[in-house]
Amino acid sequence: MRKILTLTLALIGTASASTITVWYAGTFQGHMDLVNKTIVPAFEKANPGVDVRVEFVPWGDLSTKLNASFAAGNAPDVFMHGAAATAGFAANGRIVPLDSYLTQIDTKDFGKTLNQGQYLGKKYMVPVFGAGRLLVYRKDLFQQVGLDPNKPPTTWNTMLAAARKLTTRDSSGRIQRAGLLLDSAGTNLQQVYASLLWQAGGDFFDDANKVVKFDGIQGIQALKFMQQLFDPQTGVSPLGEPVSPVSPLVTGRAAMLFAVPDDLTTIKVNNPDVYAKLAVAPALKDKEQATLYSFSGFFLNADSKDKADAWNYIKFATSSKNLEDFNAAAGNIPPLQSLVSASFVKSNPILQSYIQNMQYAVGNPNVPNWTKMRDILSVQLERAIYGKASAAEALRTAAQSVKRELPK
Amino acid sequence: MIQKRWAVWPFVLPGLLYLVFTHLAPTLYALYLSFTSYDPAQRGGPEWLGLDNYARLLTDPQVARALLVTAQFAFEVIPLNIVFALALALLLNAASRRLSGLRAAFFLPSVASAVVVSLIWLWLYEPTFGLLNQAFKAVGLGPMPWLSDPNWALHSLVIMRVWRGVGWNAVIYLAALQTIPEDVKEAGRVDGASDWQVFRYITWPLLTPVTIYVVVTGLISTFQTFAEPFVMTKGGPLESTTTVGVLIYRQAFEYGEMGLASATSFLLAIVIFALALLNFLRVRRAG
Amino acid sequence: MKSRALINMGVIAFALVTLAPFAWILLSSFKPQSEIFAWPPHFLPTRLSLEHYVYALTSTHIPLYFLNSLIVAIMVVAGNLLIAVPTGYAFARLPFQYRDQLFLAVLAGMMVPNQATVIPLFIITKHLPLLGGNDLSGAGGNGLLGTHLGLALPHIVLAFVIFLSRQFFSELPGELRDAARIDGATEGQVFWRVYVPISLPLLATITIFSFVAAWDDFLWALIVGVGEETRTLQVGLSVFLTQGSANWGPLLAATVLATIPIVILFIVNQRAFIAGLATGSDK
């Protein structure tokens, strides 16, 4: 009915109605319900004359749809994306620096999360939710093999020792249960490597993002450690475990793995008995204690014809109340410090652990062409763990290609 | 009879004009883009590069690899498809008429969407509780690393593709088999030929036009394969299922290299065209 | 007689292998939520549950996506029957200049992968003059983006349909045309009154083929659809596949639902379809 009404109004031209389009990334049902049934109606009520058209785009399809809409010039006024996309869009002038708008909100409460969307000193993203990668393990399996379920591993060596104890093999020597299951391809492989790299005291680039550093001594150390984890004879993870609809923690294929909070929410809903046996280890330490955290948030399109209303929507959707509801829906990490004591966090010890470990958070580098660099690196990491190249050789090859993608 | 020249245009023009603007224009534009550097997210628009993209493609080991993977996929799928389709067609031709209702069943895989089929097979290939490994376990065979082993993943995609295409091609073969007069084969048998010899020297040569058709449509569809590896393996492990289709998609939509993606597409089109032409020429010489 | 039994068994074995994956998915879609993720897995549902269908049909936009796909597919079928079939007929039966060259060009077009042409066509679609708020120069509005016609655009005339029609009509006797022409019929009358009535196998084949082409499209539907109003079923399926979502149950149900129209269409047209498809290969 409302749609017909808006259409009629638009046709007779009486309303000075403005329409803004907003793309949310991800299609979690709880998020869609919250936005469609609560946030947008409340916003439209508070801002008469503004019509918000929301679309939920699956993460995997987001780049495709954005690229096409930029090419044709009909990109949404507001869109959600991961922080690592900031540099690319900012360098191309596709998004607006938000510094002048940010004076209107309580930026202190966002703390350091606002810096994730920073490029060349300007802030482009208002964070909505976060994810971190921590070691999650099955307490019951720890007990079974004589490990103390209340003393999770904290260093590379203790993790490897525990994983070896937890690994079981069949008669032909194939791993039946991985002590520590790792993805051996793609973004997940790169993300685990990133954490190890930082733990070894290394980094992808220098501070100005001009010089490639991951092929240095710390990078090689991190990759060599990964090779150990995947070693066919003495390793703790099989190569090439494919995606499965059921988490390996549930099927018993894995005793430990690196997970983001979303993964655990799924287990909580479908297999509550297994969920009760899970615990989270603190961020690992080699030289440094560090792990990957990344936030996703809203960006404001530079071509938006109604930037004032678009910003108003961002401001409204990232109010403390709305962020609380949004993060409670899927059990994500809220970007606001004030929400650390919210009831959905307090009732969720696993989420609490993720929030506590945010003090060790490091983000992926914010450079243009990051997606491509990430893929180049993943391919070479994969070669190294399959034994097709030495750690040094794989990283050198990756570094050479990545250098060509860095802005001059 | 007086032929009015304009009388043909109401038939041809709407279709051709439509193709001009929905196919020819985008193709020409893509051809232009293949000589440029174009990132849709960039504001500047396309920048002329001349032949740089093509030069890059010809020296890029990743492109060569993807072409090899694609060719291997095609040359495994097409012969297997023909063998199974022909076997099924011969069976259907000889089976009791009551079973002809089953033909619809053989078609189902080829008309179901590629994404749906990929999802179904992702479940079948699931290492521990997938139907296939459960069946293997029941007969005492170890779990197969269907999609996780770089030496196996492409073959697993081949199996799925053959499963998908056999019914379609079998019906085409069946129709052709039914047009072969029984007395031709009978004459062979009278001369003392075995069933195999009748098939080898009489039936098979008569099926040549159908085989050509199956090969050419097979070349076009297998060389453009994208959905199955994209949904099931993302091109891995170790790039072992990165077909040219997957590579083009990454270039165009993930890396913002539309110009390079266009050049790769035309390279692929040339390869398909050359192979299809080769096939036609071979037949023309033979027949 | 014994060999006939063996042959029948062979056919049945082929059918089982072909159908087993579908049967498994169909059964799984009736499993209650607790059993889909149960570990160890149950192969057969302990009880049949409609919960995923009820959820997919009442709590999601699947019915809307379904309707959108259906509208687009009907446009595509109509376009191919009314525009592409006559074009194929002309290539087979009517003499005109550059006929073979034009036909070759149509075929060559099938060899360029659509990942390359999808963005150029997208730009064209947005800038169609006088449509969707555009002015004469094609600026100002959104053209056909976010419309059903926009979704149908690349499929309304399919090169493969022209190819199939040409093959079919070139196998029909040309004397039919000559005879009718001598009787004073126009080219249009010859086509509609003489050839179309004996082309049911072709029309059935093309109905199914173009329906499937529209129904299965993903990449184009993904970028041209705007909002829920013009999201198609294939794009909608990927909504259920999102990270961290526990929506495998509804995904299975939606997968089954997405296959139903094709199965119905196929069963209705089966006989004619098989006859029509077979003609494409003879030349």
How far is A182 from chain B, CA to nearest CA, in Å? Answer: 13
Cβ proximity of C215 and C234 under 8 Å: yes
- Residues A152 and A57 grouped into a single domain: no
Which of the four pLDDT bands, split at 50, 70 and 90, describes residue A12?
Answer: very low
Beta-carbon contacts of residue A36 (< 8 Å; ≥ 6 apart) = A54
Same domain? For A220 and A315 the reply is: no
Q: Answer whether B96 sits within 8 Å of C95, measured CB to CB.
A: no
Residues A82 and A189 in one domain: no
**A66 and A142 both lie in a single domain:** no
What amino acid occupies position A358?
Answer: M
ipTM: 0.86
Given a contact cutoff of 8 angstroms between Cβ atoms, the answer to whether B69 and B243 are in contact is: yes
Contact B129 A246 (CB under 8 A): yes
Token digits of residue A345? 């966090």
Q: Do C122 and A56 touch (CB under 8 A)?
A: no
Q: How far is C111 from chain A (nearest CA, A)?
A: 22
Interface of B with C in 109-128 (CB under 8 A): 109, 111-116, 119-121, 123-124
* Average pLDDT over all residues of chain A: 90
Q: Is A340 contained in some domain?
A: yes
Residues in Cβ contact with C130 at an 8 Å cutoff, skipping those fewer than 6 apart? C136
Residue A389 lies in a domain: yes
Residues A267-307: pLDDT tens digits? 888 788 999 999 999 999 999 999 999 999 999 999 999 99
Hey, what CATH class is C51-279 in? Answer: mainly alpha
pLDDT digit string, tens, across residues C190-199:
888 888 888 8
Residues A52 and A78 in one domain: yes
Is B49 an interface residue toward C (CB < 8 Å)?
A: no
Domain boundaries, chain C: 51-279
Q: How many CB atoms lie within 10 A of CB C13?
A: 11
**Is A333 within 8 Å of A327 (Cβ atoms)?**
yes
pLDDT band at A386 (very low <50, low <70, confident <90, very high): very high
In eight-state DSSP terms, residue B258 is H
Contact A366, A118 (CB under 8 A): yes
Residues of chain C with pLDDT under 50: 243-245, 280-283
Is the pLDDT assigned to residue A399 strictly greater than 80?
A: yes
Distance CA B18, CA C221 (A): 19
Q: Which amino acid is at A118?
A: Q
Q: Distance (Å, rounded) from C-alpha A1 to C-alpha A15? A: 17
Across the interface, do B105 and C208 touch by the CB < 8 Å criterion?
no
- SS3 letters across chain A: CHHHHHHHHHHHCCCCCEEEEEEEECCCHHHHHHHHHHHHHHHHHHCCCEEEEEEEECHHHHHHHHHHHHHHCCCCCEEEEEHHHHHHHHHCCCECCCHHHHCCCCHHHHHHHHHHHEECCEECCEEEEEEECEEEEEHHHHHHCCCCCCCCCCEHHHHHHHHHHHCEECCCCCEEEECCECCCCHHHHHHHHHHHHHHCCCCCECCCCCCECCCCHHHHHHHHHHHHHHCCCCCCCCCCCCCCCCCHHHHCCECEEEECHHHHHHHHHHCHHHHCCEEECCCCECCCECEEEEEEEEEEECCCCCHHHHHHHHHHHCCHHHHHHHHHHHCCECCCHHHHHCHHHHCCHHHHHHHHHHHHEECCCCCCCHHHHHHHHHHHHHHHHCCCCCHHHHHHHHHHHHHHHCCC
Q: Determine if residue A387 is left, alpha or beta; phi over 0 gives left, psi from -120 to 50 gives alpha, anything else beta.
A: left
Answer left, alpha or beta for residue B180, where phi above 0 means left and psi between -120 and 50 means alpha. Answer: beta
Do C115 and B226 make contact, defined as CB atoms within 8 angstroms?
A: yes
- Which chains are adjacent to chain A, needing at least 3 Cβ pairs under 8 Å? B, C
How would residue A244 be classed by pLDDT, with cut points 50, 70 and 90? Answer: low
Residues A119 and A146 in one domain: no
Looking at domain B57-112+153-286, which of 1.20.200.10, 1.10.150.80, 1.10.3720.10, 3.40.718.10 is its CATH number?
1.10.3720.10
**Looking at per-residue confidence, does A140 or A171 come out higher?**
A140
Number of residues in chain C? 283
Min Cα separation B179/chain A (Å): 47
Chain A residue with the nearest C-alpha to that of C35? A270
Residue in chain C lying closest to B244 (CA): C113
- As for how many domains chain A has, the answer is 2
Q: Which two tokens stand for residue C95?
A: 């003499």
Residues of A in contact with B43 (CB under 8 A): 92-94
The residue range of the domain holding A179 is 134-293+366-405
- The reply to whether A300 and A389 lie within a common domain is no
The verdict on a CB contact (< 8 Å) between A245 and B126 is: yes
Nearest CA in chain B to C180: B1
pLDDT digit string (tens) for B45-85?
889 999 999 999 999 989 999 999 999 999 999 999 999 99
Of C117, C186, C216, C265, which to mutate for an interface test with B (greatest number of B Cβ within 10 Å)?
Answer: C117
Beta-carbon contacts of A352 under 8 Å, excluding residues fewer than 6 positions away, are A345, A346
Structural domain includes residue A358: no
Task: Judge if A340 and A263 occupy the same domain.
Answer: no
Name which of C106, C251, C282 is nearest B209 (Cβ-Cβ). Answer: C282
* Interface contact C105, partner A, CB < 8 A: no
pLDDT value, residue B156: 95
Q: Are A119 and A176 contained in the same domain?
A: no
**What distance in Å separates residue B218's CA from the closest CA in chain A?**
28
